[in-house]
Amino acid sequence: MIRVPDHTVTAHLCTITGPLAITSANPSGESDSTHHDMVVNRLGSKLQGVLCDGESNEVVASTVVNCLKIDEGTISIVREGCVPAAKIWQIFEMVKNSML
């Protein structure tokens, strides 16, 4: 999974480290963590720390897009979250058309 953060501190961290390949912040099969307190409560004993960039307006989890076949000109929405599927398709089509 590659995360594209919309948070100042996380985005800055990515400029230092490069892309971060990380997992979701919830145990497999459990509901999504949408607040850092949820992450700490569920996984705190397994973590060295939690990066928090203040309160989030998001109450919906991340949108997950499968890009494994992007070289073949296709993607799929695995989970629709805070970024609507229509927006993902719009961006994908715009990028795909600019490559032609």
Q: Is 90 or 20 the better-scoring residue by pLDDT?
A: 90
Q: Which amino acid is at 68?
A: L
CB atoms within 10 A of CB 94: 10
Indicate the burial class of 52 (C-beta count within 10 angstroms; 0-12, 13-18, 19 or more). middle
pLDDT digits (tens, 9 = 90+) for 40-91: 888 888 888 887 766 666 677 778 888 888 888 899 998 888 889 999 999 8
CA 12 to mean position of chain CA atoms: 16
DSSP letters for 20-42: -B---SS-TTSPPP-SHHHHHHH
Query: Whole-structure pTM over 0.95, yes or no?
Result: no
